[in-house]
């Protein structure tokens, strides 16, 4: 709605009115935008219209000014943001953020905890070892994007909102696995420690590096593990935990793939740099059977075997899990535009790849 | 009594799922899921909070879906009978477990990113198939091929 200049002038000169400035009122024509609700409600995509939807390639100011609002000259700078859109953007950020908000769940009330009954000791202990590992992993998965929040400009606020939703997801994952470990008499077991691969994610100095290592590589692997979790689940509570966590993790992977695609399309000169990050990450992440996470690997083996018998069957299923992890990682890189990764993938992962379809 | 697989069967569970507040409470879902059973193919569309469309398609059209579910007829039958018996699947018959145990996977797509929507909305799709517990299903005769 445009503000009539005569009205502003009249207000300023009204007898008896305190000395008011009113400079915050728009004297020029306002955009005249009315956002309309869609099938999913009033989402960010619905309000990203007109000038409000014009995402600048470069965030040129260091203030908290929201995109579409009028600048004020005396405002202090508050941060040093990552200015380039191509360094942080993903075209699905709004969709995934809204979806994350819609599909939130509560570890306190949405998990049928009452379905957990006493289990054979070795199975309970194995599940608790897996939970111990996952509480650590999820702690890091919350920490890593959290480090980047303050560097996202309000001009690119969609990415910040997505990252905040991810931090919330990871907090819930940490708490739900901790709860599972404590709910049946076993508790947390041996800490696996932030392996070099996970430490590498925290140490990333570039957003795309962090995203490729965490969203595409690490969370891709964890997503596959969560899906497998429904098979090793002993009760309805565990099935629900793993299914809901897999959903959340898929959003994170989806953001990472689309970010990587955006970077490769808009800054193709970064291709070799990204390969370099992945060269190092794959080396540090290590082969799943290299003993770095022996507690986790043995616990997975026991749960997949259903106990200490049939360990051969468990080993077969664990290998199937590793193959799915490696192949899905490669396929996601192909979607992102990094199909040439196949030729230089670390042999520990490369040996698990199926031949290319074409 | 609806015959599986048929357009009537998918419409029947679409009605049950959409009439159940649990589907809406799971949150938005935007995906086009294909289902392949023997030589029949179906497209099930999810948009916002509902299952908005069910139609029979050609096998070639499965390539236009985000992903499609494909497994032997007998496994479809076992899964649906298990859901009917328990109101939901036990751990051997959840969508994710079937997908994990199938060497070639249960959800298929040439685009991993689209295929990931199967996992991203897993609870919604599970709820959709769980709705089959509310209807009486007639299974076709054993396959001859």
Bridge partners, B56 (sequence order): B42
Per DSSP (E only), the strands in A19-65 are none
Q: Which of A87, A329, A327, A98 is nearest to A215 (CA)?
A: A329
Q: Of B78 and A195, which is predicted with more confidence?
A: B78
Answer whether residue B143 is part of any domain.
no
Domain containing residue B75: CATH number: 3.30.1050.10
Name the residue among A102, A250, A321 with its Cβ closest to that of B28: A102
Answer whether residue B111 is part of any domain.
yes
Answer whether residue B48 is part of any domain.
yes
pLDDT single digits (tens) A213-232: 999 999 999 999 999 999 99
What's the maximum distance between 2 C-alpha atoms anywhere in chain A?
Answer: 91
For chain B, list residues whose CB is within 8 angstroms of any CB belonging to chain A. 26-28, 30, 47-49, 88, 91-92, 94, 96-97, 99-101, 103, 105, 110-113, 115-117, 119-123, 126
Cα separation, A295 vs A128, whole angstroms: 11
Cβ B119–A331 below 8 Å, yes or no? Answer: no
Answer whether residue B142 is part of any domain.
no
Answer whether residue B140 is part of any domain.
no
Task: State percent of chain A over pLDDT 70.
Answer: 95
What pTM did the predictor assign? 0.93
Q: Are A323 and A246 in contact (CB under 8 A)?
A: no
Q: Is the pLDDT of residue A319 over 90?
A: yes
Answer whether residue B144 is part of any domain.
no
Domain total in chain B? 1
Cα separation, A93 vs A162, whole angstroms: 6
The neighbour count for residue A303, using CB atoms within 10 Å, is 25
**Would strands B40-47 and B50-57 be described as parallel, antiparallel, or unpaired?**
antiparallel
Answer whether residue B137 is part of any domain.
no
Q: Are A243 and B115 in contact (CB under 8 A)?
A: no
| Omega within 30 of 0 (cis) for the link into A324 | no
Q: What is the ipTM of this complex?
A: 0.91
Answer whether residue B138 is part of any domain.
no
DSSP string, B10-61: HHHHHHHHHHSHHHHHT----EEEEEEETTEEEEEEEETTEEEEEEEE-GGG
Q: Tell me which residue range forms the domain holding B33.
A: 2-132
Cα separation, A357 vs B99, whole angstroms: 20
Residues in chain B: 145
Bridge partners, B47 (sequence order): B50
pLDDT single digits (tens) A245-285: 999 999 999 999 999 999 999 999 999 999 999 999 998 87
**What band does A358 get if pLDDT is binned at 50, 70 and 90?**
low
Cα separation, B38 vs A289, whole angstroms: 38
């Amino acid at each position: 709605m445009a503000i009539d200049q005569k009205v502003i002038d009249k207000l300023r000169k009204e007898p008896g009115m305190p000395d008011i400035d009113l400079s915050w009122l728009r004297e020029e024509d306002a955009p005249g935008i009315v956002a309309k609700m869609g099938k999913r409600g009033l989402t960010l995509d619905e309000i990203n219209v007109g000038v409000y939807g014009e995402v600048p390639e470069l965030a040129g100011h260091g203030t908290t000014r929201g995109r579409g609002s009028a600048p004020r000259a005396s405002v202090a700078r508050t941060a040093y943001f990552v200015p380039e859109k191509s360094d942080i953007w993903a075209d699905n950020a709004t969709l995934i953020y809204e979806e994350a908000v819609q599909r939130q769940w509560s570890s306190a009330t949405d998990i049928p905890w009452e379905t957990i009954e006493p289990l054979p000791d070795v199975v309970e202990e194995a599940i608790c070892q897996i939970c111990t590992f996952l509480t650590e992993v999820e702690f890091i998965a919350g920490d890593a994007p959290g480090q980047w929040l303050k560097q996202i400009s309000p001009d690119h606020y969609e990415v910040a909102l997505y990252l905040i939703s991810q931090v919330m997801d990871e907090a819930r994952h940490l708490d739900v696995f901790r709860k599972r470990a404590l709910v049946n008499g076993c508790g947390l077991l041996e800490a696996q420690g932030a392996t070099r691969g996970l430490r590498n994610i925290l140490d990333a100095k570039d957003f795309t590096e962090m995203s490729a290592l965490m969203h595409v590589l690490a969370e891709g692997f964890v997503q596959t593990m969560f899906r497998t979790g429904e098979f090793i689940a002993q009760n309805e509570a565990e099935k629900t935990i793993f299914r809901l966590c897999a959903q959340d993790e898929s959003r994170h992977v989806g953001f990472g793939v689309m970010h990587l695609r955006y970077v490769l399309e808009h800054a193709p000169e970064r291709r070799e740099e990204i390969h370099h990050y992945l060269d190092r990450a794959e080396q540090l992440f290590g082969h799943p059977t290299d003993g770095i996470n022996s507690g986790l690997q043995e616990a997975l083996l026991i749960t997949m075997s259903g106990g200490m018998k049939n360990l051969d069957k468990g080993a077969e299923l664990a290998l199937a899990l590793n193959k799915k992890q490696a192949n899905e990682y490669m396929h996601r890189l192909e979607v992102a535009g990094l199909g040439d990764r196949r030729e230089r993938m670390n042999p520990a992962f490369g040996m698990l790849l199926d031949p290319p379809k074409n | 009594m609806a015959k599986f697989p048929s357009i009537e069967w998918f419409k029947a569970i679409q009605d049950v799922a959409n009439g159940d507040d649990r589907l809406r409470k799971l949150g938005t879902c935007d995906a086009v899921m294909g289902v392949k059973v023997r030589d029949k193919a179906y497209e099930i569309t999810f948009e916002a909070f509902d299952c908005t469309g069910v139609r029979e398609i050609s096998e070639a059209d499965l390539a236009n879906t985000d992903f499609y579910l494909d497994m032997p007829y007998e496994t479809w039958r076992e899964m649906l009978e298990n859901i009917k018996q328990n109101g939901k699947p036990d751990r051997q018959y959840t969508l994710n477990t079937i997908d994990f145990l199938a060497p070639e996977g249960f959800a298929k797509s040439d685009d991993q990113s689209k295929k990931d929507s199967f996992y991203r909305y897993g609870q919604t799709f599970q709820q959709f198939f769980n709705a089959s517990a509310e209807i009486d299903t007639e299974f076709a005769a054993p396959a001859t091929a």
